[in-house]
Amino acid sequence: MPSAPADAGAVRRRVVVHGRVQGVWFRGATAERAREIGVAGWVRNRADGTVEAVIEGAPGAVETLVRFVHRGPPAARVERVECHDEGPPEGLLGFRVR
């Protein structure tokens, strides 16, 4: 994914979402919401049945997307979310499904 110089106020978070989160349009809904609020990063399914995402952007916007993944789209059943700060943002551009 292309990157740009990171905004000085930007943050980077990695989330791993557990529960019924694959096969329920979780990645698509997360990417759609990310684009609406203007954060960058990516989201992917993992082999263990979880969904992982990296999110970069303004702190408030990143937290908005983190709150979204705690519930996900209507068909999802989120049981647990791990969320970690990842240090300085890489300056990712756009948000994509991997």
Active-site positions read 27, 45
**What single-letter amino acid sits at 87?**
G
List all residues 6 or more positions away from 23 whose beta carbon is below 8 Å from its beta carbon: none
Cβ 59 vs Cβ 9: under 8 Å: yes
Q: How far apart are CA 94 and CA 61, in angstroms?
A: 14
